[in-house]
């Protein structure tokens, strides 16, 4: 085999390897479960956002087809207090929590409102560096940011 044929064979092998890798990367991305973080700060949007999350899960074909987190801070957090939540809101929160939605409460808002995790509906965890930091962390982990 002369040098020209060796060079062509080597180029063909490299091109094939690159094409195979690109195809594998595309397949991996298409089968990955999408990750979405909802940002909620406005008290008047609590029911709207919970409805969006429910519709998002249903639209994707179920909770195993999407990973969703909800980060709550500011005035919206008050709606999730056990003492101020109505039965319908409690039911909505329980339902999204059952589907695996991560519920994150801003530690700074909790301090400002003088509430603890036990004051909130079940399922919440504390965003111990703050709500906006948690949002940025999740985006860095590949979550798509939504603020309805």
Average pLDDT over residues 59-88: 94
| Confidence at 136, pLDDT banded by 50, 70, 90 | very high
CATH number at residue 73: 3.40.1260.10
In this structure, the answer to whether residues 136 and 122 fall within a common structural domain is yes
In this structure, the answer to whether residues 62 and 131 fall within a common structural domain is yes
The DSSP annotation for the chain comes to --HHHHHHHHHHHHHHHHHHHHHHHHHHHHHSPPEEEEEE--GGGHHHHHHHHHHHHHHHTSGGG-EEEEEE-GGGGGGGBTTT--HHHHHHHHHHHHTT-EEEEEHHHHHHHT--GGGBPTTEEEETT-HHHHHHHHHHTTPEEE--
In this structure, the answer to whether residues 58 and 22 fall within a common structural domain is no
In this structure, the answer to whether residues 59 and 94 fall within a common structural domain is yes
In this structure, the answer to whether residues 22 and 42 fall within a common structural domain is no
In this structure, the answer to whether residues 24 and 49 fall within a common structural domain is no
| Domain around 81 | 33-146
In this structure, the answer to whether residues 37 and 80 fall within a common structural domain is yes
In this structure, the answer to whether residues 38 and 27 fall within a common structural domain is no
Which pLDDT does position 84 carry in this prediction? 77
In this structure, the answer to whether residues 53 and 24 fall within a common structural domain is no
Which pLDDT does position 83 carry in this prediction? 86
Using DSSP's 3-state secondary structure scheme, residue 38 falls into strand
In this structure, the answer to whether residues 63 and 106 fall within a common structural domain is yes
Q: What is the pLDDT of residues 8-31, one digit of tens each?
A: 666 555 655 555 565 555 555 557
In this structure, the answer to whether residues 10 and 44 fall within a common structural domain is no
The number of domains in the chain is: 2
Whether the predicted pLDDT of 55 surpasses 70: yes
């Amino acid at each position: 085999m002369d040098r020209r044929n060796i060079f062509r064979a080597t180029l063909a092998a490299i091109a094939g390897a690159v094409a195979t890798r690109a195809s594998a990367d595309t397949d991996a991305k298409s089968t990955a479960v999408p990750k979405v973080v909802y940002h909620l700060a406005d008290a008047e949007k609590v029911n709207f956002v919970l409805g969006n999350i429910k519709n998002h899960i249903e639209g994707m074909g179920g909770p195993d087809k999407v990973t969703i987190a909800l980060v709550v801070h500011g005035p919206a957090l008050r709606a999730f207090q056990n003492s101020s939540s109505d039965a319908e809101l409690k039911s909505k929160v329980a339902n999204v929590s059952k589907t695996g939605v991560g519920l994150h409460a801003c530690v700074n808002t909790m301090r400002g409102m003088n509430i603890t995790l036990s004051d909130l509906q079940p399922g919440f965890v504390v965003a111990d560096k703050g709500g906006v930091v948690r949002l940025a962390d999740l985006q860095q982990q590949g979550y798509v940011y939504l603020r309805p």
